[in-house]
A and B are shown apart, each in its own frame.
Chain A
Amino acid sequence: MSKKWTVLAVPVISVLLGLLAGAIIMIASGNNPAAGYMALWNGAFGDSFYTGETLRQMTPYIFAGLAVAFAFRTGLFNIGVEGQLLVGWLASVWVGVAFVDLPKVIHLPLAISAGALAGALWGFIPGFLKARLRVHEVIVTIMMNYTALHVTNHFIRNVISDGSDATDVVNETASLRSPFLENITDFSSLHNGIYLAVIAAIIMWFMLEKTTLGYELRAVGYNQHASEYAGMNVNRNIILSMVISGAFAGIGGSMQGLGTFGNMFINSGFSGIGFDGIAVALLGGNTAIGVVLAALLFGALKVGSLNMPIESGVPNELVEIVIALIIFFVASSYMITWLLSRFKKKEAK
């Protein structure tokens, strides 16, 4: 019972600590923290438009968080969500632009599947290298992020368009835009992807907790030797785990390409969503419901912070620092609980 309590308490406390530290910095730099946080709240949930924007921002965070959490639960550290997201983004936009006259029921799923497939392929490579050659997935996935960034930029400029900085907008039949959601949120950019994100969270929970595949994947994550002894194919499971994780990340990219932006453009640097996904997964305790809640928080912080300079005069940079502090406390609290559990384990021996 006390264990369940800590599972909930640790992330909540770390968020509060981050906000507190942010408040101290605001005071130190001569700003009013109450006004600052009020502006943050208003910017995130102040009216239906802002709420819509927050939910829209939350959508790719859910996918990125699920991708990291899924790999983590099966014993792998997928740092490559950013890259998987970028290739997924490109693939679904490409499909969205390339096909005309397809009915929506075919075109949209096709475009999303393309994103999932591209992300899965980007996850397959480090998974395969880990399974066959024992190359550590962290190193390969970091490298694959840069590869993804430059490959997608190259494709946008030289393959899909003629030297342009962005692709065409995807056809209506591949778009996630929802007039209904836009209407009720005062024409925010909220799109149908939010439904898919929630469904994806349920799928991840079901896959890990309820299927034989999840049983195997988690067993391999905990103890490869015992899994091999029990007749499971350890290498296949490692690859599969990275493929599924990559597919989640790839669909996260589809959300950007088919929903938020409607196209893809040259990125000079990373979108950051994949990396924030690591924080989302950690804050959410690597569970499906936790990821959804953490993604909501991150979405609110990202969107709400835009309002802070306007309404309370807190400079943009400070907002970034506050967000960074929250991530820091989340990460360090995670380290603390990890250290505590390690310590307890040793003692028990």
Chain B
Amino acid sequence: MDYVIEMLGIRKEFNGFVANDDITLQLAKGEIHALLGENGAGKSTLMNVLFGLYQPEAGEIRVNGQNVLITNPNKANDLGIGMVHQHFMLVDTFTVTENIVLGNEPKKFGTVNMKQAEQKVRELSEQYGLAVDPTAKIADISVGMQQRVEILKTLYRGAEILIFDEPTAVLTPQEIKELIQIMRALIKEGKSIILITHKLKEIMEVCDRVTVIRKGKGIGTVNVSETNPNHLASLMVGRDVTFTTEKADAVPEQNVLEIRGLSVNDSRGVQAVRDLDLNVRAGEIVGICGVDGNGQTELIEAITGLRKVSSGAVTLNGKNITSYKPRKVAESGVAHIPQDRHKHGLVLDYPIGVNMVLQTYYQKPFSKAGIMNYKEVYKKANTLIEEFDVRTPSETTLARALSGGNQQKAIIGREVDRDPDLLIAAQPTRGLDVGAIEFIHRRLIEQRDKGKAVLLLSFELDEIMNVSDRIAVIYEGQIVAVVDPKETTEQELGLLMAGSKKGAGERV
């Protein structure tokens, strides 16, 4: 086989911590090669070595059979290696074209030749089937479009080998489909792709081969055609993993959350939730499923008091909590695992232990008469860190320094510990690996079994199907159907999510 990239026996250490230990990855020409591993397994480190951001302590890198020394990202670019970052590196106020040519502008008499640049971008986007408007501003286009701009950026610089770092983490199911088509088109044009991911489904769908790493060590490379998701998961985690979360049938009791005729506007003042009805009973998990942007975020913000309600009522255990302030909502018995853990869930510059009392710091025993008792705070934190298996060097480590999965475990620990009647979990497993996902699903079901009401919002159909006891489909700000996960299919849900009422279950 002809390899375009060979990373042989790569070793990288940080202050004695071995991030990569004797890892080998060989990328054949024209293949999509997955790099699979849990969060913190060393995937990003390995790719940063390839991209010239880190220098390896041992091992060699070959490009087209030639030994090379990649000392910085420019050198990687010159060798035809391009990286599509997970967190886009784009200037929001620039146009698509300006972003693509940035740092490599076609010049004419010392000024940027924008016409020529736009022409070039158009050509590239046609060649690879990456439909974008070259004159649109980044701030005005969707996340999926922004990702295309990132891809075009690497192509514009002549990349032959593209590294995709968790590309689907931020995309909607529809956008994921489009991305997969784009990747196939790239291969057809002779490019080779390394796909960093921990989503097994995607690997099975698009990849040719997969290299698995676990805790910094190379586990091996397998052909996708000769493996299955269960096998890959066990390679990645090092033990058997169950995908379908085991749970007993729900024994729902009285209504905990009742929403009647709720209408909410989004930040632009457009109605996002329209006359919505929903109820969640004690002892059941209700999953809200829908395409992103159909009012899910606004619904949850309205329940938790973060957004103003225009009309309608939210009652909790028979008590009207409509338009309560966030603190009153929390004190009434609602816990909330927020969608964006960095934006809402944590104060990243506070120690993880201090984050554990974000809503309860003003209560005893964490404070008394306005004076904090950090000893009690850290005592509580340590209990939760142990109970929820948060891997952190210590309780005083800044939340920023923890991996996404551990940050999420900490938030879940904090929210569950408040012993709420209603637990709202918004995309609780976003960006997490299978091990952490399994853990979080078990915790949600455990809460249900304790007789709590759980409202789950997720864009992952698998998660909705696996965990929920009832599925409420949201479309254009309304619950258009409530279905039983045992009696529905992904196809039916897909149709409902797209606004087709065919096959809809009973309306609540």
Measured CB to CB, the residues of A under 8 A from B are 210-216, 218-219, 222-223, 225-232, 345, 347, 349
Contacts and interface: CB of A to CB of B under 8 A. Distances in A.
B163 interface: no
A209 to B, nearest CB: 8
Contacts of A214: 372
A226 B306 CA distance: 11
Contact of A231 (B327, B347, B370): B327
Contacts of B362: 212
Given A211-B372, A213-B370, A215-B361, A229 B306 contact: yes
Interface in B19-63: 53
Interface in B247-278: none
Given A229-B336, A229-B338, A347-B53, A219 B372 contact: no
A347 B328 CA distance: 40
B358 interface: yes
Interface in B282-328: 304, 306, 325-328
B347 A227 contact: yes
B347 A222 contact: yes
Given A211-B370, A216-B361, 15 more contacts: A211-B371, A212-B370, A212-B371, A213-B370, A215-B367, A219-B347, A225-B344, A226-B344, A230-B327, A230-B358, A231-B325, A231-B328, A231-B329, A231-B330, A349-B87
B348 interface: yes
A229 B345 contact: yes
Nearest to A209: B372
Given A210-B371, A211-B372, A222 B348 contact: yes
B14 to A, nearest CB: 11
A223 B348 contact: yes
Contacts of B348: 222-223
A223 B400 CA distance: 12
B359 A231 contact: yes
B359 A225 contact: no
Contacts, number: 67
A36 to B, nearest CB: 43
Contact of A222 (B87, B326, B349, B359): B349
Contact of B347 (A213, A223, A345): A223
B350 interface: yes
Given A231-B327, A347-B53, A226 B87 contact: no
27 contacts: A210-B371, A210-B372, A211-B367, A211-B370, A212-B362, A212-B370, A212-B371, A213-B370, A215-B367, A216-B361, A218-B350, A219-B350, A219-B358, A222-B348, A223-B346, A223-B348, A226-B346, A226-B358, A227-B347, A228-B306, A228-B326, A229-B304, A229-B345, A230-B326, A231-B330, A232-B327, A347-B53
The winner among A211, A216, A226, A345 for most chain B CB atoms within 10 A is A226
Contacts of A225: 343-344
A216 B327 CA distance: 13
A229 B326 contact: yes
A43 B121 CA distance: 68
A231 to B, nearest CB: 3
A215 to B, nearest CB: 5
B347 A226 contact: yes
B204 to A, nearest CB: 28
Contacts of A230: 326-327, 358-359
Interface string B108-133: 00000000000000000000000000
B344 A229 contact: yes
Contacts of A215: 354, 361, 367, 372
B110 to A, nearest CB: 29
Contacts of A349: 87
Among A213, A215, A227, residue most surrounded by chain B Cβ atoms (within 10 Å): A215
A240 to B, nearest CB: 13
Contacts of A232: 327
A212 B372 contact: yes
A213 B371 CA distance: 8
B424 to A, nearest CB: 12
B307 to A, nearest CB: 11
Contacts of B344: 225-226, 228-229
Nearest to B301: A229
A223 B348 CA distance: 8
Contact of B343 (A219, A226, A345): A226
Contacts of B87: 349
Nearest to B338: A229
B330 to A, nearest CB: 5
A213 B370 CA distance: 7
A212 B367 contact: yes
B426 to A, nearest CB: 11
The 4 A-B residue pairs with the shortest CB-CB distance, nearest first, are A231-B327, A230-B358, A229-B344, A231-B326
Contacts of A216: 361
Contacts of A212: 361-362, 367, 370-372
B417 to A, nearest CB: 14
B293 to A, nearest CB: 19
A201 B370 CA distance: 19
A28 B51 CA distance: 48
A226 B327 contact: no
Contacts of A222: 347-350
A228 B338 CA distance: 12
